[in-house]
Structure 1
Amino acid sequence: MPLHNADMAAIFSEIADLLEIQGANPFRVRAYRNAARAVGEFGKSVSTMIEQNEDLKGIRGVGNDLAEKLREIAATGKCGLLEQLHHEMPAAITELLEIQGLGPKRVRAIHDALHVRTLEQLHRAAKEGKIRDLPGFGEKTEAHIIETIEAHLHKSRRFKLALAEQYAQPLIACLRRTPGVGEAVVAGSFRRRCSTVGDLDLLVTARDAAAVTERFVRYDEVAEVLSSGETRSSVVLRSGIQVDLRVVAPASFGAALVYLTGSKAHNIAMRRIAQQRGLKINEYGVFRGEKRIAGDTEASVYATIDLPWIPPELRENRGELRAAAAQRLPTLIQLADLSGDLHAHTKASDGHDDLLDMALAARERGLSYLAITDHSSRLAVTHGLDAKRLAQQIDEIDRINRTLQGIVLLKGIEVDILEDGHLDLPDAILKRLDVVVGAVHSHFNLPRERQTERVLRAMTHPSFSILAHPTGRLIGERDPYDIDLVRVIRKARACGCHLELDAHPDRLDLADIYCQMAKAEGVLISIDSDAHSRFDFDNLRRGVDEARRGWLEKHDVLNSRSLDQLRPLLGRTAVGKVASA
């Protein structure tokens, strides 16, 4: 089986960690770190590119040396450099990096001083008071390490939806090739498009259940078979994801799909409604007494309790059953409803492609406008734009728009919101822009009141258009900062600005429940790719997934508007200055 991008990225990431723990050249460490991120986020299969002899230098940060290592990984599943590093330093030490607050430098300090190699050893050393006396640590850090390890050891592992997709899609495609298979779908939280999934639930109908099970347990990526039966089986893939398979008769497919899709709370609420009508709903069908009256399709199951089919993204028991009963289910946003993208980067800051390449890629996706929002200069690691460089980019966009057909580039910036709530660029340059996307990129640990006031102050700026990734979360890596989103949402309504749903698979921020809250307050959401290369516009579909979970309809989404409809909504003083419009 070809290796997934996530597998290759994991190898590069581990190399970067081990090199940094060793104290290697920071530029070398950064090269592997950046390549890991770029490969993991890349929109095409790197293995397929290698099979087709495509140039890998189109991947951000990948030069000759790293391209050769990617080919080595694709051919062997291993990397010689990583094997060498494992010999030089125990591989288990990278587990220590999973503890929040322990970067490679601190891991190296603990390892060198106490010869700690595993989480268990680290926990024991902290409990015995051996961490506090190390330079740069102390009692508070030691207590935090104990608390974090104990939480980590008890927390079930979850996988980002984008990563789970890399493993689910080829597996379900493999099962569909089994002779006699009818339906084959992925259910569970994956089908509800949750931002993370704990495991994968597969549902199949087939003439020969044993043949499906045999193919499932012998799938190339299976690391461990937990159970194997004719209708139920469970395995763990090499990636660590558990996959559960159910094989059912066609007459039960709809009922089983409702049951396995969940959520548990949604299913319980459905069963209560059915019980009030003298019916029983389970994974085999809907029964009146011993007679099955429905179950072959999901729609037939819902119809028995006088409800229309409910989209999987809504099945969280957050009012969807009441809305369905009242015939008020939302007509959820679709990817095709998006007219443009209001957050994208070029190589002027930390992107990979130039203005024209980004414009053409967006046009190929059917978009009619694209806002270029490179970082402002305060975010030094991104080579952000100061006022002079931004002015030059504005002029360049105007030149391109004079000849560009089928799409319009909007002039914008992702400007840092400083600690005091001011914006990281002078008013004079911000007034020249069509879109000003404000973002918090620092001081994540401010107290709730200060963090909230900081953002509220920024939103009052007359050029402010959209609040980017409003909680700052990085899924599985960084918790949201502490902010009062109710106040933020209401401030957006009062100021006439908007909130972003950043569709990058590591963010998906604004999360679904806050999208639903913004909708209730009449605040528009901009679903943006946060693209850093021409391949990243695929992110938009992930943003649409999250938006659908938040009950958003086309009219709730800012960038579902045509350009003419959009202009009056972008900031209080920004009045579209695109030369070709």
Structure 2
Amino acid sequence: MPVVNADIASELDKVADLLEIEGANPFRVRAYRQAARLVGSLPRSVAEMVAAGDDLDALPGIGQDLAGKIALIATGKHLPLLDELEREVPPGITALLALPGLGPKRVHALHEALGIDSIDKLAAAAKSGQLHTVAGFGPGIEARLVRALAEGAGQAQRVKLATAEQVAEPLLRHLRGADGVLQVEIAGSYRRRRETVGDLDIVASAEPGKPVMDRFAGYEDVAEVTERGTTRSTIVLRNGLQVDLRVVAPESFGAALLYFTGSKAHNIALRQIAMARNLKLNEYGLFSGAKRLAGATEQDLYERLGLTMVPPELREDQGEIDASRQKRLPHLVTLDDIRGDLHMHTTASDGHDSILAMARAAQALGRAYIAITDHSKHVAVTHGLDAARLARQIDEIDRLNAGLKDFTVLKAIEVDILEDGSLDLPDRILRRLDLVVGAVHSAFDLPRGQQTARLLKAMDNPLLNILAHPTGRLINARPGYAVDIEAVMRGARERGCHLELNAQPDRLDLNDTSCRLAKELGLKVAISTDAHATTQLGHMRFGIDQARRGWLEPGDVLNAASLADLRRMLRRDVPAV
């Protein structure tokens, strides 16, 4: 059975979690974390690399020992180190990591102080008020944990879009190779590009009597076939993801794709429009009595209902029906609109590749400019830059730009916003930069008003241009910190600042709702990869997905502008228009 990169990254992250819970050397933990992040972002299958005999230790930051472990996982074998760690760590303890605010260090502290090794024991300790006796656990985190447990935290989670993509796309290619298959598409929340996916819905059309279901059920990554029929089958993949396949006649393919793409609310709105015209809309087509009026394509269905076709990302019944009827649908931003990337890291801090390597990789993707935004010094684990090291990097970039053709590297920094709202580096060095990106990496637990004031104060500094990952959330791992995001957006607009949509699949921060609010407020958004390696520059597409769900058009996106226009919009004394 194939082992996808997400599987390997998950195993490496699990090793890092267990090592950290045991209190292992932080540098060893970090090596596994970085390896997981690198593997998860590689565009090529690691299993294919191993099969081809490629040297994995040629990957940045991967030594010979770690390369051997990755190869072992990629070939479907158990990692002895992981087996050993799982024997040493109580089996219920890793489930605690799914709870908000509980990283490996806090889980280790709970286990050491109170012997907590399961969600049930945590719930009992929280209920009895024992948690605040553990260092680092105040009333705030205790209350959040109690609330999270009451809301079902720790139960099965939806799969991140990027993880689902790694298993969905090979399955889609497998089905397209089936004898007699005419069309196959993934529908559901995956097609709407939601940031997480509960399961996969696949719609296909095929010639009569062809063995499509046999090919589906026989896919090598199938763990279980739970339903088998001539028009519908359900499988569960090895990673636990459920997949439903529906096979329809070609004349119904568009109707089935529309129906199973959803959302449910969007479909109900369309059916109501059909009913008002004395028509019937279902997964087989649009009918007047027994006569099929449309169904082969989604385009025909929308047109028959008096609408322009709604892009899948907008199908949430949040105003898209009226916009379609009035021909006011936005011309959504696409990957081709992106001219540059304004957030990435190099070997100067916690990245894997040099400035030149990042520049060449970005140029190969069609970008005209990038900003190098290594970390500032506040978070020690990132090996961030102080003023002296940043000054040397500024000179390095100037020398590099002198030799580049039709491409520009912008001098920048991801500077930490400290708890009091000040910036981690002095203004005298920040003034030498083309761009300053500010970010919160500490004191996530501040009250909402204080956290909001912190961000607004940071933006009071006229040298700050973009607020990165504005809520600090990590999907399925950490909720965003308490903040009045609308107040932050209004404050940014008033000050001539911009907000980032961080395209890292673990973040996708801003969310789609906040993107739409930014558009309504006239606040431009920078869609940035936050890449820590050349392989992560391709994450831009996930940011584009999120931006489209937020109704953003090219004019709403800071880095869809030319370099000259970007420089103008970065000037704090010139409002962005």
TM above 0.5, yes or no, is yes
Tell me whether 299-308 or 30-39 shows the greater mean CA deviation.
Answer: 30-39
- Cα 1:209–1:498, aligned 2, differ >3 Å: closer, same or farther? farther
How many Å apart are 1:544 and its aligned residue? Answer: 0.8
- Cα 1:307–1:138, aligned 2, differ >3 Å: closer, same or farther? closer
- Cα 1:155–1:106, aligned 2, differ >3 Å: closer, same or farther? closer
- Cα 1:424–1:246, aligned 2, differ >3 Å: closer, same or farther? same
| Partner residue, 1:578 | none
How many Å apart are 1:486 and its aligned residue? Answer: 1.6
How many Å apart are 1:354 and its aligned residue? Answer: 0.9
Q: Does 1:374 align with 2:374?
A: yes
| Partner residue, 2:474 | 474
- Cα 1:496–1:254, aligned 2, differ >3 Å: closer, same or farther? same
| Residues paired across the two proteins, number | 573
Q: Deviations over 1:434-472 (max 9, x none)?
A: 111111111112111111111112112111111111111
Tell me whether 293-302 or 60-69 shows the greater mean CA deviation.
Answer: 60-69
How many Å apart are 1:2 and its aligned residue? Answer: 2.8
How many Å apart are 1:103 and its aligned residue? Answer: 4.0
| Partner residue, 2:464 | 464
| Partner residue, 2:502 | 502
On the 8 A contact 1:131/1:138 being kept in 2, the answer is no
| Partner residue, 1:405 | 405
In structure 1, give the amino acid aligned to 2:28.
R
In structure 2, give the amino acid aligned to 1:472.
G
Tell me whether 152-161 or 432-441 shows the greater mean CA deviation.
Answer: 152-161
CA RMSD in angstroms comes to 2.4
Q: Secondary structure of the residue that 1:76 maps to in structure 2?
A: coil
| Partner residue, 2:547 | 547
Question: Pairwise mapping of residues 165-564 of structure 1 onto structure 2 (< 5 A)?
Answer: 165-208=165-208, 211-564=211-564
Question: Pairwise mapping of residues 61-80 of structure 1 onto structure 2 (< 5 A)?
Answer: 61-80=61-80
On the 8 A contact 1:39/1:59 being kept in 2, the answer is no
On the 8 A contact 2:188/2:201 being kept in 1, the answer is yes
Q: Partners of 2:131 and 2:488 in 1: how far apart?
A: 39
- Cα 1:571–1:474, aligned 2, differ >3 Å: closer, same or farther? farther
Q: Secondary structure of the residue that 2:566 maps to in structure 1?
A: helix
Q: Secondary structure of the residue that 1:152 maps to in structure 2?
A: coil
- Cα 1:162–1:133, aligned 2, differ >3 Å: closer, same or farther? closer
- Cα 1:30–1:152, aligned 2, differ >3 Å: closer, same or farther? farther
Q: Deviations over 1:144-165 (max 9, x none)?
A: 6554334336855201100000
> What TM-score, normalized to structure 2?
0.94
Q: Partners of 1:154 and 1:34 in 2: how far apart?
A: 25
How many Å apart are 1:23 and its aligned residue? Answer: 3.8
Q: Deviations over 1:76-133 (max 9, x none)?
A: 332122223334445443223223344445545665787765434554x548849559
On the 8 A contact 1:464/1:571 being kept in 2, the answer is no
Q: Partners of 2:424 and 2:114 in 1: how far apart?
A: 44
In structure 2, give the amino acid aligned to 1:505.
P
How many Å apart are 1:138 and its aligned residue? Answer: 8.0
Q: Partners of 2:562 and 2:3 in 1: how far apart?
A: 40
Q: Secondary structure of the residue that 1:506 maps to in structure 2?
A: coil
On the 8 A contact 1:497/1:571 being kept in 2, the answer is no
- Cα 1:332–1:58, aligned 2, differ >3 Å: closer, same or farther? farther
In structure 1, give the amino acid aligned to 2:51.
E
Q: Secondary structure of the residue that 1:225 maps to in structure 2?
A: strand
Tell me whether 249-258 or 75-84 shows the greater mean CA deviation.
Answer: 75-84
Structure 2 residues without counterparts, runs of 5 or longer: none
Q: Partners of 2:565 and 2:144 in 1: how far apart?
A: 51
Tell me whether 205-214 or 285-294 shows the greater mean CA deviation.
Answer: 205-214
In structure 2, give the amino acid aligned to 1:489.
M
How many Å apart are 1:34 and its aligned residue? Answer: 2.7
Q: Partners of 2:104 and 2:502 in 1: how far apart?
A: 29
How many Å apart are 1:32 and its aligned residue? Answer: 2.0
> What TM-score, normalized to structure 1?
0.93
How many Å apart are 1:309 and its aligned residue? Answer: 1.1
- Cα 1:161–1:447, aligned 2, differ >3 Å: closer, same or farther? same
- Cα 1:472–1:87, aligned 2, differ >3 Å: closer, same or farther? closer
- Cα 1:258–1:441, aligned 2, differ >3 Å: closer, same or farther? same
How many Å apart are 1:22 and its aligned residue? Answer: 3.5
How many Å apart are 1:218 and its aligned residue? Answer: 2.4
